[in-house]
Amino acid sequence: MNSLAVPAIGGAELHVIEFGDIVNYFSPYTAMLFAFAVLFTVIAIVSRPERQVDIAFGGDAYYTKDIQPEQLKFQRFMAIACGLATLGAVVSGDVFNFTLFTSMVGITNIGIVAAYKNRHVLNAAFQYGIVAMIATVPLFGGAAIILATTGTLSMWELFGSAIAVPLIAKAFLVLGVMGEGMAPFYVAKAEITRAPGAPYVLIIHVSSLLLFLRVVEIVLSM
């Protein structure tokens, strides 16, 4: 097994998991991202959802927003799936595999927000869903351009200095992750986080931030 390029941004590889041509690895950087993803997945598994309370001003009345058990189960399932997809994406050693996991994160994020019935949340989630669907084109287009121009998808080869990855493929990759994870588009997220059910909504933020950190490392290394 060959090793990562010597001045690797994420540090030298610590542990390698082989799935045929897809060789995942832990470096100090990706291991840290992995640990964060594990932590937040565990939080999503064990924690109870928050229950928002609105207090009527000037009186003793207050409203609590209830979460139905079915919605709780569904959102918890989606949050766990989102956490697992994030785990796969941050340690992936293959560009196409990374884009697949990224796409899965986008779909689970849509699932988490689609379970709400609040109108303003669903309005934002609709825009978010459209962006995530558009984003699959640049995301997989970037991977396809990388395969066509370099002949390989393995990051172990691409990170070496012998292979030059075209700038447009990197731009497409970043653009795709931006759309799937919504990392820079906080407008829709601000609306989405007003919905009750804290740990499940927050995994949307965590997954998109971890994905963005990972794609920046990939693009800088290539």
C-alpha–C-alpha distance, residues 67 and 61, integer Å: 20
> Exactly one of 15, 18, 42, 53 binds other proteins (CB under 8 A); which one?
18
Nearest approach, Cβ of 206 to other proteins (angstroms)?
18
Nearest approach, Cβ of 191 to other proteins (angstroms)?
6
* Interface segment toward other proteins; rule CB under 8 A; list 30-38, 57-65, 178-186, 206-214: 178-186
* Interface segment toward other proteins; rule CB under 8 A; list 20-28, 46-54, 57-65, 207-215: 20-28
> Exactly one of 44, 79, 87, 104 binds other proteins (CB under 8 A); which one?
104
127 part of the interface to other proteins, by CB under 8 A:
yes
Structure tokens of 94? Answer: 């293959």
The CA distances from residue 79 to 11, 84, 179, 206, in Å, are: 30, 9, 19, 11
Whether 145 contacts 124, CB under 8 Å: no
172 part of the interface to other proteins, by CB under 8 A:
yes
Whether 40 contacts 202, CB under 8 Å: yes
The CA distances from residue 26 to 31, 85, 146, 185, in Å, are: 5, 16, 23, 29
C-alpha–C-alpha distance, residues 156 and 162, integer Å: 11
CA atoms within 13 A on the CB side of 204: 32
193 part of the interface to other proteins, by CB under 8 A:
no
118 part of the interface to other proteins, by CB under 8 A:
no
Binding-site ranges for other proteins (CB under 8 A)? 1, 18-23, 70, 74, 77-78, 81, 85, 88, 94, 96-97, 100-101, 103-104, 107-108, 110-111, 114-115, 117, 123-124, 127-128, 130-131, 134-135, 137-138, 145, 147-154, 157, 166-168, 171-172, 175, 178-179, 185, 187-188, 191
